[in-house]
Amino acid sequence: MNEFEQDNFLYVLGEFFKKQRITKGWAQEEVAEAVNMSTRAIQKLEKGELNIAITRFVPLAELLDVPYSFINEQFKLYGYSSFQEQVRQVANRKEKKKK
């Protein structure tokens, strides 16, 4: 995933997380406390400025009822083609080493 794709992916996810938080009536501070993150981290996440570890991402997604299907769709839109290309490049390098 190149920088542009990553930025868009994080932005879209952040916007959706924010929408879900507001819909559920949670304050940023409450979400932060519930998932053991700082309020600033939640703010940055909602702006698409923070790429968090999966160990933090899953509890947050579950708390806010963010469906994994939505996350998967966004990944396919913004990063899957780059991911496939990266896998091809690694496979090609591995094949060249065998020769």
80 pLDDT higher than 60: no
Cα–Cα distances in Å, from 34 out to 15, 18, 28, 43, 61? 19, 15, 10, 15, 12
The pLDDT, as a whole number, for residue 77 is: 77
Choose between 29 and 13: higher pLDDT.
29
Task: Tell me the pLDDT tens digit for each residue of 2-17.
Answer: 565 566 888 888 999 9
pTM of the model: 0.71
Domains and CATH numbers, the chain: 3-98 (1.10.260.40)
Binned at pLDDT 50, 70 and 90, residue 37 comes out as very high
Mean pLDDT, residues 41-62:
92
